[in-house]
Structure 1
Amino acid sequence: MFKRSSSSLASAALCGSLLVSGCANHLSQRSEHEERVDRKLLDHSFQIDVGEPKTLELPQRRVRIHELKTFDITEYDVTRHYDRYTPYQPWREIYEIPLGAVAIVAGVGANVVNLLTFGSLPDSVTKDWLSYGVAGINPFMNVPSNGRAQQNLAGIDEVQHDHRIEHTSLPWSESPVEVTAGKETNELNTDRNGVLRINLLDSPFAEQDLTRITRLNIRVTDDQSTVQASTGLPLSKSLRGKLIEAHDLIYDDLEDDDVSQWVHRVKRLSELGLEEQASDLEQSLIEMTRNDPQLQHEFLRALAKDAGRLVAVPAGSD
């Protein structure tokens, strides 16, 4: 009695597994191809170029900063294989069973004709019609359908086709840089070319007494990776001695001075070797007197006579 019930259970389980497996009508396997690139960061650093001369003799300097990275690059050809099948939907048997019977009859007839015509008919008629018919009359299987097909990943094949070491050097563009002068630390930003413009006669350094500061410390930090680099830019003794006088010449009130004092300021800046600042002050005074042509002409004549400077008046200033 026990043996009979065990064999019955085994038979039922076997039939159940066959029915379940028979519900999915398997289609041809599909493959997808793609390329995959693995990039492994080997080294990350910064390069800070403070320019020449290494000691700052003038109040302005352009510092170039680059971000350097080294990568291990591996390229693969990847092929993914998918098993495709038509999921079983019982209600489709309502029309698939009669269509399957018709397909079987048509397939048998096609094979007879093919036999008589010495194999002139294509396989899509002789074989596919029969396959469709057999699947159609099977109540536990739907006919193959690409439109309803589903898929499962069957396997992945990877083939390496390239391996190399790659070095990159990119400007540290529009990014923060810390510049420390004494106890004061200021955050400045580079331009899109990775150039940091330092001007000791401009904010924020103009408000600080730099006469006892012998060195600017420049530090760059990548917040995402904590990689950083730093360097120093020494200030010459002669430059530190010029800064206070130059600051007063540039920023003291201009409107209370007369033309001779304006000329003195421009001439003295030039004598200090600060030609860029002297030219900027000239242009500021020309712009300031644009609505008083007589005063502007007097200033330009005094510049030529007392300071030996010939300045072209910008268009629209007359």
Structure 2
Amino acid sequence: MSNQRVKGSRGKPRGLALGSAALCGSLLISGCANHMSQRSEHEERVERKLLDHSLQIDIGEPKVLELPQRRVRINEQKNFEVTEFEVTRHYDRYTPYQPWREVYEIPLGLVAIVGGVGANIVNVFAFGTLPDSVTRDWVAYGFAGVNPFMNVQSNGRAQQNLAGIDEQQKDKRLEYTSLPWSDRPVQVMAGRQTHELSTDRNGVLRLNLLDSPFAEQNLLNVGTLKIKVSDEDANVHADASLAVSRSLRGKLVEAHSLIFDDLEGDEVGQWVHRVKRLSELGLEEEASELEQSLIELTRNDPELQKEFLKALAKDAGRIAADPL
């Protein structure tokens, strides 16, 4: 038992000595960071909080479709709460310690101390006219240089740590945006059939009941077109209904035959009849389009084109635009 106590008493001083040596060694290796003046960065930050997101379908006027063509405008609307902040980030700056630099910093520090002391003596006789960069900075540089556990300040080697962030609210307002539903899909339900269409770059859906895909469908018993748009990612939906008048539905079958039946097999008189009949049905836009199509069809036959234009003016009372 006594032997064990003796061994234990000898081990404590030895362990203490080893610990002290390790501590001194670590101080020599790591040294002390030379802390520098704090640096700040300023920036502005904007937070946008979405309050409301909706889609709007404008079916236009009148609410009942009397003509086969209609432009439906679709917009995406958002309401935001916009908050502006001024953000200031504060950084603690320091020069990390590197022991090998003491080889030249210590002699330079001695020189700087001597020069700084001399500059302060001269400054007394110069009534304090010497700049602080000479009187104070030289002395500070010198003492940092002769300290074996500290390097002098160096902006080139400086490192920094974030010390804190200050935020100050500058402004808070509501912001409204309304943008076209550009090049996006639209579902149009006509009776039991659903057609996949799309808007143009201006967010306009161009409906034409005499064009595909409606031309292939019997719309006689379809009294309402249901228009639906949705953004699944944002879980936003909108729908609207556009009534189709009974008179228009009755005209569509005849108008379809007048426009799409074979033209090349008809005589000039039948061409004129088609254009005239479309105009009588109140489908003036379709009549003008068919008229221009027939002018293009006869472009390589000037005599036939001249005959058509003459008959058009005489029998239908229409003066077509001069062909190019």
Q: Identity over aligned residues, as a percent?
A: 73
Distance 1:201 1:161 in 2: 57
Establish whether residue 263 from structure 1 lines up as the match of residue 272 from structure 2. Answer: yes
- Of the candidates 103, 108, 131, which is equivalent to residue 117 of structure 2? 108
Establish whether residue 201 from structure 1 lines up as the match of residue 205 from structure 2. Answer: no
Task: Give the equivalent residue in structure 1 for 2:244.
Answer: 235
Does the C-alpha gap of structure 1 residues 5 and 70 become closer, same or farther in structure 2, counting only changes over 3 Å?
farther
Residues 104-125 of structure 1: CA distance to partner in whole angstroms, max 9, x if unpaired? 1111111121123232211111
Does the C-alpha gap of structure 1 residues 216 and 163 become closer, same or farther in structure 2, counting only changes over 3 Å?
same
Residues 265-302 of structure 1: CA distance to partner in whole angstroms, max 9, x if unpaired? 11111111110000000000001101111101111111
- Of the candidates 156, 159, 166, which is equivalent to residue 147 of structure 1? 156
Establish whether residue 78 from structure 1 lines up as the match of residue 104 from structure 2. Answer: no
Task: Map 1:11-30 onto structure 2 (within 5 A).
Answer: 22-30=31-39
Task: Map 1:53-202 onto structure 2 (within 5 A).
Answer: 53-202=62-211
Distance 2:21 2:283 in 1: 101
Distance 1:153 1:19 in 2: 27
Residues 143-178 of structure 1: CA distance to partner in whole angstroms, max 9, x if unpaired? 101111111100000111211222222221222211
Does the C-alpha gap of structure 1 residues 275 and 131 become closer, same or farther in structure 2, counting only changes over 3 Å?
same
Task: Give the equivalent residue in structure 2 for 1:250.
Answer: 259
Greater shift, 22-31 or 179-188, is seen at 179-188
- SS, match of residue 37 in structure 2: coil
Contact 1:286 1:313 in 2 (8 A): no
Greater shift, 60-69 or 277-286, is seen at 60-69
- SS, match of residue 29 in structure 1: strand
Distance 2:135 2:73 in 1: 76
Letter paired with 1:272: L
- SS, match of residue 320 in structure 2: coil
TM-score norm. by structure 2 comes to: 0.91
Letter paired with 1:244: V
Contact 2:46 2:85 in 1 (8 A): yes
Task: Give the equivalent residue in structure 2 for 1:297.
Answer: 306
Does the C-alpha gap of structure 1 residues 111 and 171 become closer, same or farther in structure 2, counting only changes over 3 Å?
same
Task: Give the equivalent residue in structure 1 for 2:4.
Answer: none
How far residue 13 of structure 1 moved from its aligned partner, in angstroms, is 8.7
Task: Give the equivalent residue in structure 1 for 2:295.
Answer: 286
Letter paired with 2:227: I
Question: 5+ residue gaps in structure 2?
Answer: 1-8
CA RMSD across the alignment: 2.1
- SS, match of residue 44 in structure 1: strand
Residues 219-255 of structure 1: CA distance to partner in whole angstroms, max 9, x if unpaired? 1111320201001111111111111111111111111
Contact 2:180 2:202 in 1 (8 A): yes
Distance 2:297 2:181 in 1: 38
- Of the candidates 11, 15, 39, which is equivalent to residue 48 of structure 2? 39
Distance 2:278 2:189 in 1: 26
Distance 2:179 2:43 in 1: 29
Residues 79-113 of structure 1: CA distance to partner in whole angstroms, max 9, x if unpaired? 10011111122222222122111111111111121
Distance 2:25 2:193 in 1: 82
How far residue 5 of structure 1 moved from its aligned partner, in angstroms, is 8.0
Between Structure 1 and Structure 2, how many residues are aligned? 315
Distance 2:119 2:204 in 1: 81
Contact 1:178 1:220 in 2 (8 A): yes
- Of the candidates 48, 55, 59, which is equivalent to residue 50 of structure 1? 59
Establish whether residue 310 from structure 1 lines up as the match of residue 294 from structure 2. Answer: no
